[in-house]
């Protein structure tokens, strides 16, 4: 797309007092939709530390200084809860997590232009700058992408950069909506937004953290210890507000599960566990978690998630390869991102047992890919190459003579 002229965006204004915030957001709440972004720091903390909130309206662009000492964010919480105002984000998950942590409620309603772009055929998890370029021809300034947003004062260049995250987002949203309406795909986007309205999406369950560690064992007792210590680390990381890996690395948890230390000395011998940690509150709690897991009856011990066990049935590699080719073919035909349609786990489940519940066999995914995938798996169609592209052909299977 040829580069377009820059629209006449409003000049951004920095807000650092509660009175100014309340008056400004009272005006903005009369608009049908607002574009929103956040700048935060998270390198040294478990919870993201909000530094700046950008909000774009038709006539106003405001930058809320979230670290200002005299600023009460209650008016912002009220805006986030106002269901009459659509909140438009790009790649909303981290922003929504911040608001949920701050206000104990998710913004509603929400529209994520990254998800919408995947539905509209702009690729898997397309970045904001790439999407702006594709839809408007404008090149986004990236010079302050890695800036320290907690430092004050913010420079005019930083404020201009931050404002760009919500000014061009209005143009992106309007053009995406037009395209999705023309292609009758707005309902597809709505179906994907449901996950962003569920607080559980953004609140990791400590009791399930062990599953992401990829333990290479079927020993349920070891898995029970791993579950206990991984849950303990998660709660401790939240309590002291440090990243979980900074508190204790994954490798250390796996070694604890394997060696089962029940004394301070034994825990201190685990690689990555300092003597100070072993003797402190976290270490003592870790030892208790190990003992508790060791005392569990066999019936309460976890099993590897389905498909992760060494004994779990594996789908045919050739069939998986064919389904991946078919997925790419169907997504190319419908101009939609493959990653949005099917996960590797969805494909494996379909390859192993097409009768079990599967997201690929419901809603718009069924129309785009699921029905065709079943036809391929059942031998009703075959893959071929015609004119340099993959084509689907009906089959006429006959019994061997």
Report residue 39: phi and psi, to 5°: -120, 135
Q: Is the fold of 12-201 the same as that of 317-394?
A: no
- Asked: is 12-201 a CATH 3.30.420.10 domain? The reply is yes
- Asked: is 206-295 a CATH 1.10.150.80 domain? The reply is yes
How is the chain split into domains, by residue range? Answer: 12-201, 206-295, 317-394
Q: How would you label 312-336 residue by residue, b for 16+ Cβ within 10 Å and e otherwise?
A: eeebeeebbebbeebbebbbeebeb
Task: Identify the H or E element spanning 53.
Answer: strand 49-56
Mean pLDDT by 10 residues, the chain (401 residues): 70 97 98 97 95 97 96 98 98 97 97 96 92 93 87 94 96 97 93 91 94 91 97 97 96 97 98 96 97 97 76 87 96 94 95 94 95 95 92 72 46
Q: What is the largest CA-CA distance in the chain?
A: 86
Region 317-394: CATH code: 1.10.150.80
Alpha-carbon distances of 212 from 145, 172, 207, 254, rounded to whole Å: 29, 35, 11, 11
């Amino acid at each position: 797309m040829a580069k377009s002229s820059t629209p006449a965006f409003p000049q951004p204004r920095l807000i650092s007092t509660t009175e100014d915030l309340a008056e400004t957001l009272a005006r903005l709440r009369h608009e049908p939709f607002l574009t929103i972004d956040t700048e935060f720091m998270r390198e040294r903390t478990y919870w993201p530390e909000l530094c700046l909130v950008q909000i774009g309206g038709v006539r106003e662009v405001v930058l809320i200084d979230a670290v200002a000492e005299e600023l009460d964010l209650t008016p912002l919480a009220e805006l986030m809860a106002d269901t009459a105002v659509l909140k438009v984000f790009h790649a909303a998950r981290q922003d929504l997590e911040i608001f949920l942590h701050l206000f104990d409620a998710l913004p509603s309603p929400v529209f994520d232009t990254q998800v919408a772009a995947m539905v509209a055929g702009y690729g898997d998890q397309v970045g904001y700058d790439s999407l702006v370029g594709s839809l408007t021809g404008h090149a986004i300034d990236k010079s302050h992408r890695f800036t320290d947003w907690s430092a004050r004062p913010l420079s005019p260049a930083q404020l201009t950069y931050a404002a760009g995250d919500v000014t061009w987002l209005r143009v992106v949203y309007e053009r995406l909506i037009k395209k999705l309406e023309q292609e009758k795909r707005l309902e597809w986007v709505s179906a994907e937004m449901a996950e962003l309205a569920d607080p559980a999406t953004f609140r990791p369950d400590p009791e399930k953290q062990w599953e992401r560690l990829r333990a290479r064992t079927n020993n349920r007792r070891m898995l029970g210890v791993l579950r206990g210590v991984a849950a303990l680390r998660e709660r401790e990381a939240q309590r002291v507000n440090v990243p979980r890996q900074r508190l204790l690395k994954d490798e250390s948890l796996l070694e604890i599960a394997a060696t089962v230390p029940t004394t301070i000395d034994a825990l201190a011998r685990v690689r990555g566990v300092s003597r100070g940690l072993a003797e402190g509150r976290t270490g003592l709690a870790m030892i208790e978690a190990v003992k508790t897991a060791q005392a569990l009856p066999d019936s309460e011990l976890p099993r590897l998630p389905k498909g992760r066990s060494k004994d779990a049935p594996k789908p045919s590699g050739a069939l998986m390869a064919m389904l991946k080719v078919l997925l790419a073919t169907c997504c190319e035909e419908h101009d939609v991102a493959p990653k949005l349609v099917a996960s590797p786990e969805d494909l494996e489940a379909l390859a192993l047992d097409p009768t079990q519940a599967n997201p690929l066999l419901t809603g718009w995914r069924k129309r785009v890919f699921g029905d065709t995938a079943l036809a391929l798996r059942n031998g009703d169609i075959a893959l071929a190459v015609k004119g340099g592209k993959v084509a689907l052909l009906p089959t006429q299977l006959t019994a061997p003579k």
